[in-house]
């Protein structure tokens, strides 16, 4: 990332930008289904630098549209959500979820022209606890991506939203950088305190892994590896992770066979990102498993605390800890090595570091090293794909949503000398596939499926 133009094209997501147009070709998870109730209050929604409103109508359909009324540009956020539409309080004009003007009561009947007025509305879909928005130009829209965890029933999932105050690129890059884990998150961990079989057993001993990196149909993938001395049976400890177009990641913090999750980093605008973590609810060893002393790892507070949600454009899912209060860093815990970073929550540690880089990282000030191979490869892959799309090449995965089913992440031990791609393939073949056991309505991306409803806008 030497050229200023490369950095600009990579990080800017507004209308008519290289990356903004590229991301708009994909479905964006944007809202928890539970955030919208039938005939409830409209919600302000920022996506890709556009100010929108979202609402659920009387029939349960979801509308996402520009917030300004096409009549005199008053905000439809102030509107009345009633009888299958949103009604502007200024002159009473009413619009359905597709943006069609369905009532114009302030205009005499003989002069009514509602069939010629339309609010810009985007296509929406709802599947397994998430509301998705399509902001691209295709009509009909492409199928939803077949990201494995999003195909599972909502009752089997944990879905977390957290807003981050920085550009989407620096936000997601923390997920594809495995070497930071041994410092930021567990730098205070004494390897002698880690019991055999603990998820941190090998990370605590060797904090400088080597990497294999590749392009994939879904994006990019890395395998970070460490030699493990198991007495007479040496092994290689692998940690695999993925980047999936346009903004999804899968981290290695779980046992490969059952680590079914995905993490979206949805750009709200150039300097704010919504982190959406979708995880299969299953019992799995985590880095917070007890150590030999019976205690859990310091700095692993289970959940970050939120500010109250408000109706501002960026008023949803904000953490209490932020730059204004130094992310609640505990300098005494840092000095005494009780918590390496001094910040008592693993997600918050990542949030503090990436937000501290500034609203948009100045890539010209970086000095990337061997541990940044996945970062460099992913930036190049995304930038090349976005520019190719600008020049007429289809965006990867949009026309073949099943490619995302090939991505899995996690850790495992393998025999030394086994090719890294063979090791990955063997693990994929052996892993659990709960989506295959789900009902057809859950596992499909067809708009007619009961678990998924689609509203066509635009």
Q: Which domains are seen in the chain, by residue range?
A: 27-141 (2.102.10.10), 154-443 (no CATH)
User: What is the mean pLDDT of the segment spanning 258-265?
Assistant: 96
For residue 291, give both structure tokens. Answer: 């150590």
Whether the predicted model's global pTM rises above the 0.85 cut: yes
Residue 228: phi, psi to the nearest 5? Answer: -120, 130
Q: Is the pLDDT of residue 37 over 70?
A: yes
Q: Is the pLDDT of residue 441 over 80?
A: no
32 vs 84, 172, 246, 276, CA distance in Å?
20, 20, 20, 9
The reported pLDDT for the residue numbered 285 is 67
Q: What is the average per-residue pLDDT within 170-186? A: 90
- Which pLDDT band holds residue 62 (cuts at 50, 70, 90)? very high
Whole-angstrom Cα distance, residue 27 to residue 291? 42
> pLDDT tens digit string along 107-157?
999 999 999 999 999 999 999 999 999 999 999 999 999 999 999 999 999
Beta pairing class for 86-87 and 410-414: unpaired
Q: Which residue, 74, 117, 71, is CA-closest to 96?
A: 117
| pLDDT band with cut points at 50, 70 and 90 for residue 440 | very low
187 band by pLDDT with thresholds 50, 70 and 90: confident
**Given a cut of 80, is residue 243 above it in pLDDT?**
yes
Strand 130-134 to strand 157-164: parallel, antiparallel, or no bridges (unpaired)? unpaired
Give the pLDDT of residue 219. 98
Question: Is pLDDT of 218 > 60?
Answer: yes
pLDDT of 455 > 80? The answer is: no
Residue pLDDT, tens place only, 349-381? 999 999 999 999 989 899 999 889 999 999 999
| CA terminus-to-terminus distance, the chain | 36
Q: Is 206's pLDDT higher than 90?
A: no
What's the angle, vertex CA 261, arms to CA 257 and CA 265, rounded to 5? 145
Q: How far apart are CA 291 and CA 268, in angstroms?
A: 39
Banded model confidence at residue 178, pLDDT cuts 50, 70, 90: confident
**Residue 2: its pLDDT value, please?**
60
Q: How confident is the model at residue 298 (pLDDT cuts 50, 70, 90)?
A: confident
Sign of torsion over alpha carbons 376, 382, 387, 391: positive
Encoding tokens for residue 370? 């061997």
Of the candidates 183, 184, 231, 189, which has an alpha carbon nearest to the alpha carbon of residue 208? Answer: 183
């Amino acid at each position: 990332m030497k050229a200023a133009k490369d950095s600009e094209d990579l990080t800017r997501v507004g209308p008519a930008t290289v990356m903004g147009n590229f991301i708009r070709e994909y479905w964006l998870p944007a809202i928890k289904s539970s955030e919208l109730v039938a005939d409830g209050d409209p919600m302000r929604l920022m996506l890709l630098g556009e100010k929108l409103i979202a609402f659920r109508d009387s029939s349960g359909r979801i509308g996402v549209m520009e917030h300004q009324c096409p009549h005199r540009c008053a905000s439809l956020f102030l509107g009345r959500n009633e009888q299958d539409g949103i009604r502007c309080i200024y002159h009473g004009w009413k619009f359905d979820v597709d943006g069609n003007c369905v009532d114009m009561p302030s205009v005499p009947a003989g002069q009514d022209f509602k069939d010629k007025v339309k609010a810009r509305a985007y296509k929406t879909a709802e599947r397994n606890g998430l509301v998705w928005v399509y902001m691209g130009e295709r009509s009909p829209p492409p199928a939803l991506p077949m990201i494995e965890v999003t195909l599972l029933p909502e009752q089997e999932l944990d879905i977390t939203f957290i807003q981050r105050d920085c550009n989407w690129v620096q936000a997601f890059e923390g997920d594809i950088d495995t070497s930071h884990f041994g410092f930021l998150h567990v730098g205070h961990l004494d390897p002698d305190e880690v019991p055999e079989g603990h998820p941190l057993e090998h990370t605590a001993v060797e904090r400088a892994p080597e990497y294999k990196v590749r392009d994939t149909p879904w994006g990019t993938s890395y395998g970070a590896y460490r030699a493990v001395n198991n007495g007479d049976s040496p092994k290689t400890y692998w940690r695999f992770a993925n980047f999936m177009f346009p903004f999804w990641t899968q981290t290695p913090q779980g046992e490969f066979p059952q680590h079914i999750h995905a993490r979206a980093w949805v750009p709200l605008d150039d300097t704010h990102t919504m982190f959406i973590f979708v995880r299969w609810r299953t019992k799995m060893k985590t880095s917070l498993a007890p150590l030999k002393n019976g205690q859990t790892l310091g700095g692993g507070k289970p959940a970050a605390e939120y500010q109250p949600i408000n109706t501002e454009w960026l008023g949803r899912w904000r953490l209490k800890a932020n730059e204004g209060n130094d992310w609640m860093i505990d300098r005494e815990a840092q000095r005494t090595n009780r918590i390496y970073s001094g910040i008592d929550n693993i997600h918050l540690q990542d949030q503090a570091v990436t937000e501290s880089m500034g609203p948009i990282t100045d890539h010209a000030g970086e000095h990337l090293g061997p541990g940044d191979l996945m970062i460099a490869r992913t930036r190049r892959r995304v930038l090349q794909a976005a520019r190719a799309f600008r020049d007429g090449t289809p965006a990867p995965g949009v026309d073949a949503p099943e490619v995302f089913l090939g991505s899995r992440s996690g850790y495992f031990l393998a025999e030394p000398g086994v090719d890294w791609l063979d090791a990955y393939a063997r693990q994929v073949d052996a892993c659990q596939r709960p989506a295959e056991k789900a009902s057809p309505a859950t596992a499909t991306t067809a708009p007619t499926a009961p678990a998924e409803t689609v509203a066509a806008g635009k």
